[in-house]
Amino acid sequence: MLDNEILAAVKGGMKGELDSVTIYEDAARVSDGKVKEFFLERAAEEKQHFNYLLGYYKTRTINLTPERNAAAEIGGSWKSAIVSEAFLKQIAGSKHLSAAIASAVHLEADAVRHYSDWAARAESPELKKLLGQLVQWEQRHYDDLTLMQDEMQRYYFEVNNFEPF
């Protein structure tokens, strides 16, 4: 890949990460308890990804030497959300939080596509490995959110008092 293509891809990744941070932080502001904690953890992870990409953008080099562990720096301590019925009902009962989950699903899918496309074009094995890790982390976020969206759908109509026609 040419330098200008790599930098354009990094900028695209940074924009996606910032969009995700915005959605997660906005959702955290209007929630509480475990739901707030979930959104704040997701925002923190996306900030780590953004900061790593920003460092690359500023220096135009991804430092993949053994002294710097990219996986540890951008991976954080990601864990799958433990989602209870109360957790799902809190999100389902808020149109804002439900919309945040729907938006986040799309952003995570975009991130998977973006990093996958970038990885397919990268020539360096180290860069391909790093991008593969980003794809895996964003895919886990996507999978987690789509599962959550599917599970909360059964509560959405109940919590919002929808009735059949």
Per-residue pLDDT band at 157 (split at 50, 70, 90): confident
CB 52 within 8 A of CB 68: no
Pick the CATH number of 3-156 from 3.40.50.720, 1.10.1380.10, 1.20.1260.10, 3.40.50.620: 1.20.1260.10
Rounded Cα distance, 149 and 165, in Å: 24
Does the pLDDT value for residue 131 go beyond 70?
yes
Vertex 10: Cα angle to 72 and 134 (nearest 5): 35
pLDDT of residue 64: 47
Does the pLDDT value for residue 148 go beyond 90?
no
pLDDT of residue 85: 81
Q: What is the mean pLDDT of residues 65-94?
A: 62
Q: What is the mean pLDDT of residues 119-144?
A: 84
Query: CA–CA distance from 47 to each of 42, 63, 104, 145 (Å)?
Result: 9, 19, 14, 18
Q: What is the pTM of this model?
A: 0.74
Rounded Cα distance, 45 and 47, in Å: 5
Q: Which two tokens stand for residue 63?
A: 């430092």
What are the extents of the domains in the chain?
Answer: 3-156
What does the DSSP assignment read for 90-103?
A: HHHT-HHHHHHHHH
pLDDT of residue 67: 47
Name the strand (E) or helix (H) holding 4: helix 3-29
Does the pLDDT value for residue 6 go beyond 50?
yes
